[in-house]
A = this chain, B = another copy of it.
Amino acid sequence: MDGSRFLVRYSLAAPGEEEARAVAFGICVEQTVEFPFDLVRHERIREHIVGRVESLAPAGRGRFAADISYAEETAGMELSQLLNVIFGNTSLKPGIRVESFEPTAALAARFQGPRFGVDGLRGLTRTAAAPRPLICSAVKPMGLSVTELASLASDFAAGGVDLVKDDHGLADQAFSPFRERVAACADAIREANATAGTCCLYAPNVTADGEEEVLRRAVFARDRGAGALVISPGLAGWSSLRRLAASEEARLPVLMHPALLGGFTAAPRSGLAHGVLYGTLARLLGADASIFPSHGGRFPFSRRDCRAIAKGCSEAKCPWRPILPAPGGGITLERMPELIRFYGTDVLFLMGGGLFRHPRGLVAGCRAFRRSVGG
């Protein structure tokens, strides 16, 4: 027992400090022994295994911030159990939110984080020398044939987008089966790149039922010329994303998509803070870019939420490589100047429908998108 402890900051609701201390101690017990503390007889368990309130401070009206440390061994070096100690049962209680997480050195090493991160993506998109926001669009809508999707992919690449991803709703349906779609879109983008001298990356969606199938699709995609991958961990499981990012066979940048993760941020004062879910956790899992719905579109994330995500993707105190925040969900050409001011340079913008509305067509829309980021 080397005494290493990882730290979780929770915010919690309580009318005063005494009540806040009781809530914080309740978290310490719930997340570890889950057993009446007065019945825990071993001093080693009481002192070491039960979480420990390291500090407690007021954090605004009726809220407190509690820093709680947990013995590294409670997590057993497994992702699932680490998430369980951080927030398993307490996710079911109201008014408690995870505001930050700091791993031990051994946990930081165990979960290696992103393989590429910001620097890796800059290298692959040849934007390291003159960094600018990266841009991405998606082949869709679902229901189009493989040929139609590949034609869109070709137009996106010709128009100068850096990444073309599958819409996250394209899985392995009869109208565009995974393998046929990936082969056709990868070929289309390779040809467009060869013609235009560009280096657009194609990112197929490998979200599937369980890590085996996810990895099978990823390896197929890589072999057929994909340049990145998209996965929704809310659908495929946290460890599918982690395995994908760590895979020696796939070795491609991974874009994390937020499908089905809405519950974690649905109640304003419980769940996981935006910066934790789309920043720290995305980095822990190994995502190289973290997709989320930006403020001002058709989703309810606020400017503050989005700023927290961007910070979570890049802040240096997190031990894993910085990654690109990837805002989408209603971005238009008109909004690009405002959004660039807001997000800065290290960002991957996702635009879908907005590109199709350009009066001179899709390729012209992509070129305008590219010009908007100074490409």
Interface residues of A (CB under 8 A from B): 26, 30-36, 39-40, 42, 44-45, 48-49, 73-76, 78-81, 83-85, 87-94, 140-144, 167-169, 171-175, 207-212, 232, 234-240, 242-243, 258-267, 270-272, 293, 298-301, 329, 352-353, 356-357
Contact = CB atoms under 8 A, between A and B. Distances in A.
A42 B76 CA distance: 52
A94 B353 contact: no
B357 A33 contact: no
B81 A240 contact: no
Contact of A208 (B78, B90, B142, B143): B78
18 contacts: A31-B169, A32-B141, A33-B142, A34-B167, A35-B141, A78-B208, A79-B209, A80-B235, A83-B235, A84-B169, A84-B232, A87-B262, A91-B262, A92-B293, A92-B299, A262-B270, A263-B267, A266-B266
Contact of A144 (B34, B42, B329): B42
A63 to B, nearest CB: 16
Given A78-B171, A299-B92, A49 B209 contact: no
Copies per complex of this chain: 2
Nearest to A141: B33
Contact of A262 (B92, B175, B260): B92
Given A91-B259, A91-B260, A235 B271 contact: no
Given A39-B353, A266-B270, A210 B239 contact: yes
Nearest to A87: B260
Contact of A143 (B42, B141, B175): B42
Nearest to A356: B39
B260 A88 contact: yes
Nearest to A231: B80
Contacts of A243: 209-210
8 tightest Cβ-Cβ pairs between the two chains A and B: A237-B237, A263-B263, A91-B262, A33-B141, A88-B259, A45-B143, A49-B143, A92-B262
**Which residue, of A30, A40, A242, A353, has the highest number of chain B Cβ atoms within 10 A?**
A353
Contacts of A234: 88, 91
A210 to B, nearest CB: 4
A270 to B, nearest CB: 5
Nearest to A233: B237
Contacts of A298: 26, 30, 93
Contacts of A300: 92-94
A142 B34 CA distance: 8
A48 B261 CA distance: 27
Given A76-B171, A81-B172, 16 more contacts: A32-B141, A33-B140, A35-B167, A42-B144, A49-B142, A49-B175, A81-B235, A84-B171, A85-B169, A90-B262, A92-B261, A92-B265, A92-B301, A211-B211, A262-B263, A263-B265
Contact of A357 (B26, B39, B169, B271): B39
Contact of A175 (B73, B172, B236, B299): B73
A232 B140 CA distance: 34
**Which residue, of A33, A235, A353, has the highest number of chain B Cβ atoms within 10 A?**
A235
A333 to B, nearest CB: 14
A39 B141 CA distance: 10
Contacts of A174: 73, 76
Contacts of A143: 32-33, 42, 44-45, 48-49
